[in-house]
Amino acid sequence: MKIMVILGCPEPPVLIPSFIYLLNMLKNNGHEVVVSANPAALKLIETVDPEKYYLKGVGFQNIDEGLKHKFDVDIIIGFAHNDAAVNYIITYKTVYGSKTMALVFGKSINEEFVKSLEEEDIKTFTARAFHNPVPVVVQLKKLNENL
Amino acid sequence: MACIDNYNYEILHKGSFRECAEYIKSNYKNIRNLDAGEEIIEGVMLIGKPPIPIAYKGEYIIFPYTKPCYGSFVLKIPLNEYIKSEKKKNKKNTKGALSKLKFW
């Protein structure tokens, strides 16, 4: 399947390592991956994998560009820790019309984010995590089972 | 590609997307509801939970604007700049859109 991952502001330390973990899991399962992210998040991703061990063959684009030039995607997965990320995920679902899932994470779980996403028929997972990636990894494994 | 800095915008309100949408609905009468992902002005997409309220008042257009790291704002831009960007948008659409997707 062709899977698009959406990353917003990369401020939480768990975000980029969790993305690499998810990317590795998706590629190992034979999925094609594309990432739509803000420019700082893209730079961080490139920096953690200078030899492109994980990134080889992965498509990438600026989070705003991806809304202007639509292509076929089977599933969208979004990481959300702030209001803007929630709204970008909802917007991507509206534009692409694909099945969408989200992981809401942070120092505490914002129930309003979860409600907003679920009202748009986006299956939502939650993890209380900011520095420690383990709760996110547990939820990503659950998310993977729902693909 | 144009970005919001190319326009003479004024920030009227800052908050969550829901608060920004409420601000527009409660302060303006002439409102149109648009879908998420629509290009409101050249290079600027509407981000948020649809229906997204856009207001027109006098010589201005008022809409919610979201940045990944900074959250949502209510912006006001002059209608003449909006009309100029509409013309550019229409011209651009006739050329067709190619994906800007790159690969590592």
**For residue A66, is pLDDT > 70?**
yes
**For residue B34, is pLDDT > 50?**
yes
**For B6-50, what is the HEC assignment?**
HCCCEEEEEECHHHHHHHHHHHCCCEEEECCCCEEECCEECCCCC
Q: What is the pLDDT of residues A102-142, one digit of tens each?
A: 999 999 999 999 999 999 999 999 999 999 999 999 999 99
- Distance between A107 CA and the closest CA of chain B, angstroms: 17
- In this prediction, residues B80-94 reach a mean pLDDT of 66
- In this prediction, residues B28-35 reach a mean pLDDT of 95
**For residue B97, is pLDDT > 50?**
no
pLDDT at B42: 80
Instruction: Average the pLDDT over each of A92-101, B8-17, B38-47 and give the range with the smallest value.
Output: B38-47
pLDDT at B52: 96
pLDDT at B3: 75
Q: Is A65 exposed, middle or buried (0-12, 13-18, 19+ CB in 10 A)?
A: middle
pLDDT over 90, % of chain B: 57
Q: What is the pLDDT of residues B36-79, one digit of tens each?
A: 999 888 878 899 999 999 999 988 999 999 998 889 999 999 88
**Mean per-residue pLDDT of chain B:** 85
- Distance between B92 CA and the closest CA of chain A, angstroms: 12
Residues with Cβ within 8 Å of residue B100, at least 6 apart in sequence: A61, A62, A65, A66, A68, A69
Task: Indicate the SS3 state at residue A106.
Answer: strand
**For residue B1, is pLDDT > 80?**
no
Determine which of A68, A73, A93 to mutate to test the interface with B (most B C-beta atoms within 10 Å).
A68
Q: Which residues of B touch A84 (CB under 8 A)?
A: 17, 47, 66-72
Q: How many domains does chain B have?
A: 1
- Residues A81, A69: Cα–Cα separation, whole Å: 25
The DSSP H or E segment spanning B89 is helix B79-95
pLDDT at B44: 85
Residues A91, B48: C-beta atoms closer than 8 Å = yes
| Joined tokens for residue A89 | 């995920």
- In this prediction, residues A33-58 reach a mean pLDDT of 96
Q: Chain A interface residues facing chain B, Cβ-Cβ under 8 Å?
A: 8-9, 11, 34, 38, 40, 46, 52, 55-69, 71, 82-88, 90-92, 94-95, 112, 116, 119-120
Instruction: Average the pLDDT over each of A11-15, B89-93, B94-98 and give the range with the smallest value.
Output: B94-98
Nearest CA to A80 among A61, A62, A58, A63? A63
Residue type at A90 in one-letter notation: I
User: What residue in B sits closest to A79 (Cα-Cα)?
Assistant: B68
Residues B103, A38: C-beta atoms closer than 8 Å = no
| C-beta separation of A106 from A13 below 8 A | no
Q: What is the pLDDT of residues A68-95, one digit of tens each?
A: 888 999 999 999 999 999 999 999 999 9
Nearest CA to A10 among A61, A89, A82? A82
Residue B103 domain-assigned? no
Helices A111-119 and A83-96 sit at what angle, rounded to 10 degrees?
10
Residue B23 domain boundaries: 4-85
Q: How many CB pairs under 8 A join A and B?
A: 97
pLDDT at B40: 86
Class of domain A2-145: alpha beta
Residues B49, A59: C-beta atoms closer than 8 Å = no
pLDDT at B80: 79
**For residue B86, is pLDDT > 90?**
no
pLDDT at B99: 65
Residues with Cβ within 8 Å of residue A94, at least 6 apart in sequence: A120, B35, B36, B37, B50
Residue B37 domain-assigned? yes
Residue B46 domain-assigned? yes
Please tell me which of the candidates A59, A119, A120 has its beta carbon nearest to residue B101. Answer: A59
Residue B77 domain-assigned? yes
- Distance between B30 CA and the closest CA of chain A, angstroms: 24
**For residue B15, is pLDDT > 90?**
yes
For chain A, give every domain's residue range: 2-145
